[in-house]
C-alpha cells in the first residue's frame, strides 16, 4: 500500500510533470524488507519534492542503482552524466530552426530546463549565422517562446535503401520549466521503443494537435467519449459514471485527490468502527496532539529532522501509528496551495460533494462553465461545427441540475481587447441563472478579485486573481462607496423618504420600473405624449421611450427588450395610421376646378397645421429607429459567444427586426403623406412664377398692400430671415409654402437628413413641373419673357439661400435654371451661335429639348431659324422633351448616431417635469401593492 499511495500523491502534485504511460512492474522500486511508518514514508515523499539532490540523499544508493541499470536508453539520442552534477550530452532533432538540419548536440545538466535548451540552440545558430557558416537568417528573429521542445517516443525503422527512418509512436510537448535529462532518468519508454527530443515551432505543433482532435471527433462516439473524460478530469470535473470501478493496471498510481478523499473516508470510518477506544481518544482531545505532530512533520525542512520524527513515530504503538498516518494523509490533501500566476475560482457551495472540487483554475484567457450536454444537445453541436460554427469548449463541467451546457463565460487579459491588463469580464449565456455579488446578472460585467459568482441555485464561487492586490472582504464597506441606502431597501422611514425625494428630483436620464409595470408604463408614455402640444417637447415620446428601454437594457432581463421595442413600434404605428385617416377626412382630393380656392395663404396655413402630427411622429420614429438600431447592435455583440441558431436568440432577433420594420413603415408613410400634400399645395402657386411680370407697377402696388396686410396681422410669426412680406406677390405664395414646410420640420425637430430629403422632393417637383410647363408653352420662348422668369426665379433662390436651403435648391433646380438662362441669351448672340457651341454650353439639355427650344424660338415675324442651328446628321432627336415625375430621388432612411444622449442630464424643464410625473406614477403603482402601514409618504 505504501508505494501506490506515495505515487498517487506525487502524480497529482501540479509542480511535477505528467508521467508517460505507466512503467512496467520490473521498474518499480522494491518493497522494503522491514515495515516503515507511514509518516516516515510521507516525509520522504515531501523531501523528494523539493530538489533532485535531496531526492538522491533520501532515496539511497540501492534504489538509485536499480533505476540507473534498468532499461538503459539508447545511446543514439543522449549520454547520461556520471554524477548528478556533471553535464550530459543530449541531441535535439528537428529543422524548425534551420532548414535541412538533422539534429544539434548540446551539453546539458540535470536541472537544465527545456526553455534553456531552446535558447542555447538559438544562440548557437545565431553565432554561426554571424560567422557566415549558414545562410539561414531567420533564427535571429525568433525567441524561445516561438518554439516548443517535444518528448517523442518511437523507434528507428531500417529502409530497403539502407537509410534509417524514425517512426513516431507518440509525442508530448515539454513544458518550459521541465528538465529533459530528469525526464530521461525518471520515465522510460517500454521495450522496443526509444526516446528523443525534437524542436518544433509552437504554432505548427498546435495546428497539428488541433487536426488530430478533429480527426478523433470525426471517428465517432467512442473516441469522443475518451476525449470527453480526459478533458473533464483535466478541468476539474467528473468523469463518466461508467468509468468508475473499471480501472486498468497500475491506475492506482494516478488516482486523483477526490478518489483518495473517498478512500480515506472509508478507511477512517473502518478504523473508527473497529476500535472504539480510538474514537473515545479523539473525543477526549488526543487528536489535537496528533494533529500538531503531523503539521510539524509536514513543514520540516531538514532531512535529519524528518528522519528523527519518523523514528519517534515508529516507536509508538500500532494504534497510535495508524491514527497518525491516516490523519497525516488527510492533512496532506487538505493543504492545497492555490496557483500564484493565474486566477482561480474557490468553491464555497456546491451540489454534489463527491464530484465537486475545491479549486477551479483559470489557466486560459477564456473560461466556460457548463454541464455535460445531453446526447441530443451534443448532436446539435456537431451539426453546427460541421457548418463552420465555432463553439467555445467548456473548461469546467459542473453537475447542477439547473445549469445550461454553456452557462457562464469569463474572459481576461488578451481575450478582453480594449481593456486594461489583468482585467476580467463575466457574462452569462442566454437563459442562464447567474448572480454577481448577490445581484442577478443579465449581461457582461467587470469581475474583480473577491467577487462572488452564483451559478444556478446551488453553486457559489469566490473569484481570486493572485496577480492583483486582493480587494477588501465583502463584509467591510469600501472607502469609495459613499452612496446612501438603496431605494428599494432603505434603512428606515426617514432614509426612505429622503431617497425617494432625491430620486424624484434627479436630473439623471433614468426611469426605474419593475418588469410587471412595463406595459402600463409604455401605455402611459405614449398616451400622454402623442400630440405635438402635449407639453413635453418635440421629441418627448422618443426620449421617454429611450430612457425606459435604456434602463431595461442595463438592469432587466434581456428577453424584455425585444418585446418592449415591438410593443412601442406597434402603438406608434396605430397612432400614425389614425392621424393619416383623420387628415384624409379633413383634406379630401381636390378637383381641378377647386384649385383657385386652394391658392391662398390661409389654405397653406391650414394644411401645414394639420400636417404637424404626422411630421411630429416622423421625427420621433426616426430618433427611435436610430436608438433601436444601436441597442440591437449591442445585443448582437453580447450574443457573439452564444451558440449559433439558438431558438431563443433567433426569436428575439426576429422580434427586433419586426420592430425596426414597423418604424421604417411609419417613417416612409408619414414622409409620403407630408410630401404629397405639400406638393399638391405647391402646385397651385407655380404658374405665377412663369406668368407674372415682377417689373410692372401693378405688381409693385400689390406687394405694398401685402406688406401692410402682413403687418396688420402681427407679422409672419417666423424669424426675420423667414419673412416673405417684402417679396412681390408673384413669388410670395410659392415661398410661403417653402416657409411653412421649414417651420414644420423645425417645430418637429426633424433630423437634418430627413429635412434635406423633404425639401429635395419639393424642389424636384418644382423643377419638373415648371420645366415641363415652360417646354409646353412655346409662347414663352423669347428674351423678354425669359428675363421676367429669371427675375422671379432669382427672388426664390435668394430667399432659400438666406434660410440655409440654397445648396439643395441649386442642385434640384439646376435644369430649370439652365433652360431659362438659354432663353435669356440676347437674340443677336444667339443667332451667331452654332449647334455644337450651344449644346456644349447647355449640356444638361437633351438634344431633343435643345432642338425644340431652337425650333420654336421667337426670332421675329417670318424669320426662319439660321442654318447653324441645324443638328448634324445622326443626332437623336426622337426622345421625350418632358421630364418624368418618376425620376424622383429615393427615400433613404437615416442610419446615424442618435441625437438623444442619455448620458447627459435631462435636456429641458418640460422633460424633467414629465419624467418626475412618471417616477411618481410608478412609485404609486408599487405602493398600492403594499399594506397601508408599509407605504412611504412624502
Asked whether residue 443 falls in the same domain as residue 518, the answer is no
Task: Please choose, from the candidates 73, 67, 68, the residue with its C-alpha nearest in 3D space to the C-alpha of residue 27.
Answer: 67
Query: Where is the domain boundary, 464, 487, 512?
Result: 464
Q: What percent of the chain has pLDDT over 70?
A: 69
Asked whether residue 440 falls in the same domain as residue 511, the answer is no
When pLDDT is averaged across residues 517-532 and rounded to a whole number, the result is 93
Place of cell 414644420: 744
Q: Backbone dihedral region of 167: left (phi > 0), alpha (psi from -120 to 50 degrees) or beta?
A: beta
Please write the tens of the pLDDT for every residue from 872-930: 888 888 778 898 888 888 888 877 788 889 999 999 999 999 999 999 999 888 888 77
Q: What is the pLDDT of residue 6?
A: 37
Please write the tens of the pLDDT for every residue from 822-865: 999 988 898 888 999 998 998 899 999 998 898 888 887 777 78
Asked whether residue 539 falls in the same domain as residue 421, the answer is no
Sheet holding 366-370, edge to edge: 396-397, 366-370, 408-412, 424-428, 445-447
Q: 3-class SS at 589?
A: coil
Please report which confidence band the pLDDT of residue 144 belongs to, taking 50, 70 and 90 as the band edges: confident
Q: What is the DSSP letter of 789?
A: H
Task: Please choose, from the candidates 851, 786, 779, the residue with its C-alpha nearest in 3D space to the C-alpha of residue 816.
Answer: 786
Is residue 146 a part of any domain in this protein?
yes
Asked whether residue 549 falls in the same domain as residue 666, the answer is yes
Output the nine-digit C-alpha cell for 883.
421630364
- How many domains does the chain contain in total? 3
Report the alpha-carbon distance of residue 272 to residue 276 in Å, rounded.
Answer: 6
Choose the weakest-confidence range: 208-212, 241-245, 664-668: 241-245
Please report which confidence band the pLDDT of residue 132 belongs to, taking 50, 70 and 90 as the band edges: low
Highest-confidence segment of 63-77, 184-198, 704-718: 184-198
Task: Please choose, from the candidates 140, 190, 202, 196, the residue with its C-alpha nearest in 3D space to the C-alpha of residue 171.
Answer: 196
Is residue 426 a part of any domain in this protein?
yes
Is residue 756 a part of any domain in this protein?
no
Highest-confidence segment of 282-296, 372-386, 559-573: 559-573
CATH of the domain at 399: 2.60.200.20
Asked whether residue 451 falls in the same domain as residue 511, the answer is no
Please write the tens of the pLDDT for every residue from 438-491: 888 988 899 999 899 999 999 999 999 988 876 555 544 333 333 333 444 444
Q: Backbone dihedral region of 776: left (phi > 0), alpha (psi from -120 to 50 degrees) or beta?
A: alpha
Task: Please choose, from the candidates 862, 860, 781, 859, the residue with its C-alpha nearest in 3D space to the C-alpha of residue 823.
Answer: 781
Given a cut of 90, whether residue 155 has pLDDT beyond it is no
Please report which confidence band the pLDDT of residue 568 belongs to, taking 50, 70 and 90 as the band edges: very high
CATH of the domain at 171: 3.10.20.90
**More confident call, 734 vs 261:** 734
When pLDDT is averaged across residues 412-427 and rounded to a whole number, the result is 82
Q: How many CB atoms lie within 10 A of CB 71?
A: 13
Given a cut of 80, whether residue 685 has pLDDT beyond it is yes
Is residue 439 a part of any domain in this protein?
yes
Residue-number span of the structural domain to which 175 is assigned: 87-129+142-215
Asked whether residue 535 falls in the same domain as residue 638, the answer is yes
Query: Where is the domain boundary, 187, 215, 243?
Result: 215
Asked whether residue 511 falls in the same domain as residue 567, the answer is yes
Query: Where is the domain boundary, 409, 436, 464?
Result: 464
Is residue 442 a part of any domain in this protein?
yes
Is residue 482 a part of any domain in this protein?
no
Asked whether residue 202 falls in the same domain as residue 342, the answer is no
Asked whether residue 553 falls in the same domain as residue 637, the answer is yes
Asked whether residue 375 falls in the same domain as residue 524, the answer is no
Q: Backbone dihedral region of 285: left (phi > 0), alpha (psi from -120 to 50 degrees) or beta?
A: left
When pLDDT is averaged across residues 382-394 and rounded to a whole number, the result is 82
Asked whether residue 113 falls in the same domain as residue 202, the answer is yes
**R_g (Cα) of the chain, nearest Å:** 44
Output the nine-digit C-alpha cell for 471.
480587494
Name 154's bridge partners.
Answer: 168, 194
Please write the tens of the pLDDT for every residue from 330-387: 555 556 788 888 899 999 999 988 888 889 999 888 999 999 988 888 888 888 888 8
Q: What is the pLDDT of residue 30?
A: 43
Is residue 179 a part of any domain in this protein?
yes
Is residue 555 a part of any domain in this protein?
yes
Mean pLDDT (the chain, rounded): 75
Q: Three-state SS across 257-312?
A: HHHHHHHHHHHHHHHHHHCHHHHHHHHCCHHHHHHHHHHHHHCCCCHHHHHHHHHH
Asked whether residue 445 falls in the same domain as residue 351, the answer is yes
Q: What is the pLDDT of residue 130?
A: 66
Report the alpha-carbon distance of residue 557 to residue 152 in Å, rounded.
Answer: 53
Amino acid at each position: 500500500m505504501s508505494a501506490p499511495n506515495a505515487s498517487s500523491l506525487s502524480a497529482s502534485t501540479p509542480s511535477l510533470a505528467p508521467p508517460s504511460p505507466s512503467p512496467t512492474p520490473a521498474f518499480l522500486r522494491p518493497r522494503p524488507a522491514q515495515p516503515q511508518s507511514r509518516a516516515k514514508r510521507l516525509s520522504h515523499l515531501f523531501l523528494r519534492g523539493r530538489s533532485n539532490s535531496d531526492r538522491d540523499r533520501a532515496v539511497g544508493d540501492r534504489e538509485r542503482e536499480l533505476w540507473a541499470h534498468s532499461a538503459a536508453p539508447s545511446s543514439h539520442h543522449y549520454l547520461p552524466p556520471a554524477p548528478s552534477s556533471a553535464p550530459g550530452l543530449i541531441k535535439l532533432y528537428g529543422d524548425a530552426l534551420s532548414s535541412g538540419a538533422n539534429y544539434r548536440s548540446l551539453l546539458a545538466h540535470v536541472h537544465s530546463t527545456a526553455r534553456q535548451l531552446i535558447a542555447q540552440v538559438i544562440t548557437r545558430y545565431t553565432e554561426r549565422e554571424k560567422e557566415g557558416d549558414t545562410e539561414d537568417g531567420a533564427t535571429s528573429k525568433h525567441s524561445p517562446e516561438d518554439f516548443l521542445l517535444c518528448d517523442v517516443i518511437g523507434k528507428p525503422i531500417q529502409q530497403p535503401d539502407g537509410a534509417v527512418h524514425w517512426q513516431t509512436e507518440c509525442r508530448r510537448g515539454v513544458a518550459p520549466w521541465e528538465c529533459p535529462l530528469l525526464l530521461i532518468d525518471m520515465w522510460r519508454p517500454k521495450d522496443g521503443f526509444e526516446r528523443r527530443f525534437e524542436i518544433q515551432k509552437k504554432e505548427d505543433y498546435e495546428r497539428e494537435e488541433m487536426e488530430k482532435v478533429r480527426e478523433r471527433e470525426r471517428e465517432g462516439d467512442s473516441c469522443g467519449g475518451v476525449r470527453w473524460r480526459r478533458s473533464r478530469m483535466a478541468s476539474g470535473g467528473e468523469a463518466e459514471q461508467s468509468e468508475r470501478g473499471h480501472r486498468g493496471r497500475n491506475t492506482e498510481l494516478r488516482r486523483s485527490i477526490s478518489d483518495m478523499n473517498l478512500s480515506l473516508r472509508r478507511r477512517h470510518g473502518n478504523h473508527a468502527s473497529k476500535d472504539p477506544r480510538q474514537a473515545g481518544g479523539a473525543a477526549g482531545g488526543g487528536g489535537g496532539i496528533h494533529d500538531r505532530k503531523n503539521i510539524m512533520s509536514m513543514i520540516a525542512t531538514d532531512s535529519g529532522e524528518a528522519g528523527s520524527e519518523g523514528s519517534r513515530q515508529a516507536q509508538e504503538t500500532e494504534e497510535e501509528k495508524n491514527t497518525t498516518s491516516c490523519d497525516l494523509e488527510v492533512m496532506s490533501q487538505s493543504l492545497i496551495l492555490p496557483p500564484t500566476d493565474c486566477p482561480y475560482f474557490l468553491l464555497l457551495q456546491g451540489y454534489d460533494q463527491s464530484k465537486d472540487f475545491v479549486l477551479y483554475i483559470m489557466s486560459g484567457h477564456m473560461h466556460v462553465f457548463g454541464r455535460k450536454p445531453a446526447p441530443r444537445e451534443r448532436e446539435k453541436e456537431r451539426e453546427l461545427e460541421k457548418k463552420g460554427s465555432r463553439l467555445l469548449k467548456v473548461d469546467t463541467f459542473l453537475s447542477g441540475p439547473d445549469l445550461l451546457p454553456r452557462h457562464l463565460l469569463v474572459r481576461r487579459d488578451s481575450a478582453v481587447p480594449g481593456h486594461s491588463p489583468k482585467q476580467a469580464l463575466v457574462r452569462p449565456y442566454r437563459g442562464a441563472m447567474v448572480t454577481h455579488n448577490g445581484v442577478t446578472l443579465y449581461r457582461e460585467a467587470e469581475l474583480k478579485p473577491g467577487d462572488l459568482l452564483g451559478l444556478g441555485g446551488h453553486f457559489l464561487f469566490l473569484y481570486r486573481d493572485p496577480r492583483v492586490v486582493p480587494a477588501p472582504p465583502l463584509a467591510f464597506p469600501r472607502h469609495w462607496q459613499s452612496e446612501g441606502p438603496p431605494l428599494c431597501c432603505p434603512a428606515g422611514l426617514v432614509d426612505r423618504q429622503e431617497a425617494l425625494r432625491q430620486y424624484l428630483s434627479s436630473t439623471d436620464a433614468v426611469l426605474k420600473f419593475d418588469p410587471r409595470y412595463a406595459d402600463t408604463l409604455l401605455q402611459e408614455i405614449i398616451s400622454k405624449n402623442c400630440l405635438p402640444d402635449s407639453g413635453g417637447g418635440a421629441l418627448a415620446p422618443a426620449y421617454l421611450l429611450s430612457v425606459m428601454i435604456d434602463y431595461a437594457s442595463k438592469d432587466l432581463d434581456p428577453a424584455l427588450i425585444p418585446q418592449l421595442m415591438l410593443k412601442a413600434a406597434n402603438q406608434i404605428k396605430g397612432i400614425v395610421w389614425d392621424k393619416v385617416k383623420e387628415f384624409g377626412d379633413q383634406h379630401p382630393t381636390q378637383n381641378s376646378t377647386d384649385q383657385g380656392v386652394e391658392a391662398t395663404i390661409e389654405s397653406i396655413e391650414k394644411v401645414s397645421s394639420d400636417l404637424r402630427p404626422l411630421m411630429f411622429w416622423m421625427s420621433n420614429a426616426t430618433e427611435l429607429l436610430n436608438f433601436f438600431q444601436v441597442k440591437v447592435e449591442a445585443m448582437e455583440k453580447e450574443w457573439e459567444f452564444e451558440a449559433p441558431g439558438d431558438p431563443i436568440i433567433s426569436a428575439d432577433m426576429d422580434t427586433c427586426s419586426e420592430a425596426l420594420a414597423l418604424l421604417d413603415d411609419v417613417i416612409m408613410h408619414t414622409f409620403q403623406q407630408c410630401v404629397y400634400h405639400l406638393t399638391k399645395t405647391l402646385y397651385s402657386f407655380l404658374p405665377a412664377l412663369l406668368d407674372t411680370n415682377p417689373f410692372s407697377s401693378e405688381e409693385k402696388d400689390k406687394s405694398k398692400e401685402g406688406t401692410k396686410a402682413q403687418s396688420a396681422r402681427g407679422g409672419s410669426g417666423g424669424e426675420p430671415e423667414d419673412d416673405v412680406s417684402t417679396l412681390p406677390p408673384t413669388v410670395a405664395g410659392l415661398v410661403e409654402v417653402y416657409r411653412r414646410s421649414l417651420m414644420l420640420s423645425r417645430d418637429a425637430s426633424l433630423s437634418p437628413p430627413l429635412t434635406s430629403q423633404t425639401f429635395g422632393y419639393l424642389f424636384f417637383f418644382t423643377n419638373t413641373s415648371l420645366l415641363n410647363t415652360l417646354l409646353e408653352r412655346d409662347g414663352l420662348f423669347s428674351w423678354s419673357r425669359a428675363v421676367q422668369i429669371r427675375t422671379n426665379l432669382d427672388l426664390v433662390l435668394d430667399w432659400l439661400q438666406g434660410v440655409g436651403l440654397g445648396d439643395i435648391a441649386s442642385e434640384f433646380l439646376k435644369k430649370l435654371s439652365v433652360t431659362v438662362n438659354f432663353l435669356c441669351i440676347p437674340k443677336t448672340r444667339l443667332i451667331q451661335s452654332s449647334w455644337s457651341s450651344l449644346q456644349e454650353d447647355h449640356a444638361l439639355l437633351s438634344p431633343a429639348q435643345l432642338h425644340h427650344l431652337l425650333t420654336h424660338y421667337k426670332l421675329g415675324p417670318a424669320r426662319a431659324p439660321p442654318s447653324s442651328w441645324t443638328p448634324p446628321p445622326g443626332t437623336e432627336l426622337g426622345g421625350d422633351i418632358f421630364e418624368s415625375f418618376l425620376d424622383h430621388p429615393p427615400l433613404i432612411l437615416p442610419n446615424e448616431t442618435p441625437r438623444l444622449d442619455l448620458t447627459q442630464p435631462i435636456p429641458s424643464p418640460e422633460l424633467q417635469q414629465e419624467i418626475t410625473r412618471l417616477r411618481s406614477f410608478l412609485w404609486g403603482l408599487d405602493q398600492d401593492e403594499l399594506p397601508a402601514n408599509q407605504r412611504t409618504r412624502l
